[in-house]
Amino acid sequence: MTRLRQPPALALLIQGSILALAMSLAMPAQVPQGAQQQAPAQEQRPNSRATIRSTVELVVVPVTVKDARGNLVDDIRQDEFTIFEDDVEQRISTFSTDAFPLSALVVLDNDLKPKAAEQVRRSLISLAGAFSESDEVALGRFASFFTLLMDFTTDNDRFMAQLKDRASGDDSVPDPVSTAPNPAAGDQPIPGAPTTQQQASADKSTKHLDDALHGAAEALRARPHERRKVIILVSDGVDAKNNTYSYDQTLIALLSSDASVYAIGTDAALLRRGASPLSRYAHATGGDTYFVNNEAALSQAYAHVAEEARHQYTLAYSPAGTDRTKNYHSVEVRVKRTGLNVLARDGYYLVHLP
């Protein structure tokens, strides 16, 4: 059972990722030579890291804006955004449109239907082209158990070699669906989880999506704070009912790790029935969902996800008028223009205990 404790002091309220990203964004405004400074002194942005650390608790919210056709909108001004915490409007203190490097964990569903599995296998090589030299990428898979196949690396050749092994079917790691966890091969059994035989008798599906995302969130928790943390999940969205971690527990892990879920769904029927947890996780964490049905669409989705995650608006504010003794705070971002879709996380946790 996840237990949440209240933060003991303001210094502990500042999440490491929030502070580091805010410090990287806090640049003094450029004033043309000879021009008068119009803004009052108290409205100027902090111009030193020491100022931010000692006086301000900043919440940083990456935001994606799309039009009705799903295209990214990149010309929104700061004054067109409004942000609310716990239904209280906040003053945006920092605004940026700069691209940020990614810490991306690609998580592959290892129990897809044969047709979808073959499409994913053939499309994997194109995944390497979705990332830039500044990104770091890790590769994992899941069924009954979450397995980290490759830890984070900026070596694209190493990532490509892993993808080629998966694409060729040369996979020396046993399938967690059909065998007990193999620590030597890297399988990570969930503490307290039932055995494969127990899972099969209790539920038709032995695929644990909640547990996989929880494991991915924990893998991202310690990644560098100046990077955008994303999970690229390729799955049909099928999930067993006997996960070790609940949806709520997994969402806490994702939000407290600053991780956004970008789901590439291989079963559009689940979307039409409104039964897919993929959309639910993506919406709550400020990510996005793509549903595909062929190899070409998969390859395009990889590129779209990486581009969308890297190029976001970044809003930061110092919370005011909300109860700081609460551990969870809701966040809502709005834009003044009509007909646009705003993607941002639903909230954040100040403290997370495993």
Q: Helix 247-256 crosses helix 209-221 at what angle (to 10 degrees)? A: 20
Residue type, 123: S
121 and 81, same domain (yes or no): no
pLDDT tens-digit map of 183-241: 444 444 433 333 333 333 334 568 899 999 999 999 999 998 889 999 999 999 888 88
Q: What is the CATH number of the domain that holds 282?
A: 3.40.50.410
Q: Give domain status of residue 33, yes or no.
A: no
Task: Please check whether residues 156 and 61 belong to one and the same domain.
Answer: no
37 in any annotated domain? no
The number of domains in the chain is 2
52 vs 3, 291, 316, 342, 347, CA distance in Å?
A: 30, 41, 12, 28, 22
Average pLDDT of the residues in 335-343: 95
Report residue 315 as tokens. 């809003």
The answer to whether position 135 is within a domain reads yes
In the 8-state DSSP scheme, what is residue 184? G
Does residue 115 lie in a domain region?
yes
Full domain range(s) for residue 339: 10-26+45-99+312-349
Four-residue CA torsion sign, 185, 191, 194, 199? negative
User: Residues 229, 302: one domain?
Assistant: yes
Alpha carbon of residue 141 to chain centroid: 16
- Residue 81 shares a structural domain with residue 114: no
The answer to whether position 304 is within a domain reads yes
Rounded Cα distance between 348 and 254, Å, is 9
Domain assignment present for residue 34? The answer is no
| Domain co-membership, 113 together with 244 | yes
Q: CA-CA distance, 142 to 317, in Å (whole number)?
A: 37
Tens of pLDDT, residue by residue over 173-185, are 444 433 334 444 4
Question: Do the beta carbons of residue 176 and residue 110 sit within 8 Å?
Answer: yes
58 and 126 belong to one structural domain = no
Say if residue 272 is in the same domain as residue 337. Answer: no
256 and 161 part of one domain: yes
How big is the chain, counted in residues? 354
49 and 191 assigned to the same domain? no
> Quick check: 254 and 285 in contact, CB under 8 A?
yes
The verdict on 15 and 60 lying in the same domain is yes
Q: Strands, E, within 132-279: which ranges?
A: 136-142, 146-153, 187-188, 228-235, 259-265
Q: For residue range 288-314, list pLDDT tens digits in order.
A: 999 888 889 999 999 999 999 988 999
* Assigned token pair, 201: 């008798």
Residue 31 lies in a domain: no
Q: CB of 265 within 8 A of CB of 305?
A: no
In this structure, is residue 139 part of a structural domain? Answer: yes
Looking at the fold, whether 177 and 298 belong to one and the same domain comes out as yes
Same domain? For 124 and 188 the reply is: yes
Q: What is the pTM assigned to this prediction?
A: 0.75
| Mean pLDDT taken over the chain | 77
